[in-house]
Structure 1
Amino acid sequence: MMKTVLITGCSTGFGRDTAIHFLDQGWRVVATMRNPAANSLPMSDRLIVLQLDVTNADSIAAAIAQAGPIDVLVNNAGFGWLNAVEGTPLDTVRALFETNLFGAIAMMQAVLPGMREQRSGVIVNVSSSSLYKPLPLLSAYRASKAAMNALTESAAHELAPFGIRVRVVMPGMAPSTSFSGTAQGHVMGAGGFPEAYADYAQATFAAMMQAANGPVTVGQDVADAIFRAATDADCPAVLPAGADAVAWAKGE
């Protein structure tokens, strides 16, 4: 029987690439996004595009009701932030955790009753390869993603008796989805970046741009890793995705 994957955050970037990859493999894809008007996915009779805000309980309930039984959940929705701890408003920290962590937990809670009933299912959480290194100016963002990894590790043990697998994919830096635009805005003084950190931030930003000229992650790397996590029962619990992520995972 045709299997169904629900992917959050599909309007652009890794989510969009992953949705296309699953479609290419013959899956039924429920591609969700906060603004379906931004949908640019190719048309398919196996594609359903739904409005979903992972921070809104009513939105989650409506999407799950329309999606039907789910075989694989991909928690991809999230956003990044580049600033010093001192310059990051607490409201921004809360927003990071609401989307990057609490939204993923809410989605897991929404699909798990069905997965337990069918005694099968896979949850793939998308984290970040930035956790392999103590990168500066990413403190709040990395904290939200570190919590995602911890969540995945424990949930994998909790859910194994029900035949449910939980995996985490850790993408590297992709030029199309990097922090470059946000970073430049903060370094140039927008977004409440502390003046005292300006010189340090400029140097850090320059190093990030230089790194982006080396081995980087492309969307297909991440789509491949997520598909492997969803379909290969023997794959590692943690999968780096992209040339830079793989190198960082090896300590290079």
Structure 2
Amino acid sequence: MSKTILITGTSSGYGKATALHFLSRGWNVIATMRRPDPALFGQHAERLRLLPLDVTSEDSIAALVEAAGPVDIVVNNAGIGGVGAFEAMPMSLIRQLFETNSIGAMAMCRAFIPQMRERGAGAIVNVTSTVALGAFPLAAAYSATKHAVEGFTASLAHELAYFGVRVKLVEPGYAPTTRFGANAIIPVTDLLPGRYADFAQPVLAAFAAPALTTRESDVAEAVWNAVHDRTGQLRFPAGADAVALAEGR
């Protein structure tokens, strides 16, 4: 019988690519997003369920657990971006980044752990970022949200291994073809006061023309490998830039 994977943040980018990757290999996929759009996955309707989810809402998560039923794998991919000078970031934005990127992932884990623990099987894959592998200027708050998930996941992996549940990290690099910039709540131009202009210019120039990048398919493949890993490996860098950073640590 086909296994079922639930993936958050599947409207575009890594989440959508991962959903398509698992669908193409015969899995049942529950793809979640704030506003489900059937047009995104038209040809895969037979083994695909689209469900609404706001990871910052306890009621939304509870409704998802009820609607989803038994799930073998949970992939926490939903996230929002935030790039700019930390000094210019309002605390409301910083809290929103943590609510979605960090606490949202934790809340999803907490919601689905009981059924996996009771079965003594299953896996959780938390998708973070290469900002957790190095120091990236103009990404202080965003980096903090991803470091939080990394520490949380490493600890949780030990807790749940006792019950036969695996917990993994997938660490994507920078993918120019995703909607990372578009998903930012406040445009980077609004978070760079004039006094930061000279500092930010070369940083943004390097960001616009990276030597190595990540493709959506790299992340989908890394999630696939993480789901099927039985060696105890925790971290799975995804993309040429991510692999280079991981090897250089």
TM over 0.5, shorter chain: yes
Match of 1:111 in 2: 112
Match of 2:31 in 1: 31
Residue 185 to residue 92, structure 1, CA distance change in 2 (3 Å): closer
Tell whether the 8 Å contact from 2:80 to 2:180 is kept in structure 1 after alignment: no
CA deviation map 1:149-185 (0-9, x unaligned)? 0000000001011100000000011011265566994
Tell whether the 8 Å contact from 2:132 to 2:150 is kept in structure 1 after alignment: no
Tell whether the 8 Å contact from 1:152 to 1:168 is kept in structure 2 after alignment: yes
Match of 1:81 in 2: 82
Percent of aligned positions that are identical: 48
Match of 1:21 in 2: 21
Residue 239 (structure 1) aligned to one of 225, 236, 239 = 236
Structure 2, gaps ≥5 residues long: none
- Cα distance in 2 for partners of 1:39, 1:153 equals 37
Residue 10 to residue 180, structure 1, CA distance change in 2 (3 Å): closer
1:28 is aligned with what amino acid? Answer: N
- C-alpha deviation, 1:73, in angstroms: 0.3
Tell whether the 8 Å contact from 1:184 to 1:205 is kept in structure 2 after alignment: no
3-state SS in 1 of match to 2:169: strand
1:117 is aligned with what amino acid? Answer: E
Match of 1:9 in 2: 9
2:99 is aligned with what amino acid? Answer: E
Tell whether the 8 Å contact from 1:229 to 1:235 is kept in structure 2 after alignment: no
3-state SS in 2 of match to 1:40: helix
Is the counterpart of residue 207 in structure 1 residue 206 in structure 2? yes
- Cα distance in 2 for partners of 1:106, 1:97 equals 12
- Cα distance in 2 for partners of 1:178, 1:199 equals 26
Alignment of 1:62-73 (within 5 A): 62-73=63-74
Match of 1:172 in 2: 173
- Cα distance in 1 for partners of 2:38, 2:196 equals 36
Q: Between Structure 1 and Structure 2, how many residues are aligned?
A: 247
Tell whether the 8 Å contact from 2:170 to 2:222 is kept in structure 1 after alignment: yes
With normalisation by structure 1, the TM-score equals 0.93
- C-alpha deviation, 1:208, in angstroms: 0.9
- Cα distance in 1 for partners of 2:185, 2:36 equals 27
With normalisation by structure 2, the TM-score equals 0.94
